[in-house]
Structure 1
Amino acid sequence: MKLTSKQIKGLKPREKRYQITDEGGLALRVQPSGVKSWVLRIPQSGRVLDLTLGHWPEISSDVYSSIYKVGLNTVQPTSLRILVLIRAY
C-alpha cells in the first residue's frame, strides 16, 4: 500500500508504537510521541533487521515512492540509505 501525505498526517499516536507496512518491506513507524519514521524491514538469517531511513516529513512520501519503484531486492541497505539521504537534501 502506497501511503499518501494525507494518510500519513491522519495517523495518530497510540499508547504503544505501531507501524503500517507494505509488501516491499518498507514501513512507517508511529511512536507514542507522534514521531513518524520510515523503516526498511530486511529479512536476514531468520530474523528481521529494521533499518531506519529517516523521519517523516523530512523524507516525504515522494522519496518513499522512489524507493518503492527502484525495487528493494536489487538495492543493498547501505546504498538505499545513501540514496534516501541524497534525495532528502
Structure 2
Amino acid sequence: MPLDEFVTEVIGLIEIRPDAKEIQVKRVKFLRHSEARGDYDQVVETLNGTDPHGKQARTARGPPGARLLSSRGSPRTSRRPPAAVSRSGW
C-alpha cells in the first residue's frame, strides 16, 4: 500500500473516531480477523509467498559468499566480494 494512501485512510479514520482504541486500514482487516475465521495459517502462508516490493528478484543470488547451485546442480560460491558491516552506521 503506498504511504500516501495509508496516511490518508488513517487520518480519515481518526477524524471519524478520534477515541478509537485501534485503527485498521481496510487492507489489513483480512489479516486482523483471520484467526477468528480460522484461516490464520493460510493467510500468513499466502503473505509470505508474495513479493510486493520485488525483493526476491534482487536477492535471488543470496548473500555475498553464499553457496549456490549451478544449473548442473553442483555447488558454487557467489563471486560477489563480502560487504563491509559497520555497527556504528545504524
TM-score normalised by L of structure 1: 0.28
- Structure with greater helix percent: 2
- Structure with greater strand percent: 1
Larger RCO: Structure 1 or Structure 2 (Cα < 8 Å, ≥ 6 residues apart)? 1
Rg comparison, structure with higher value: 2
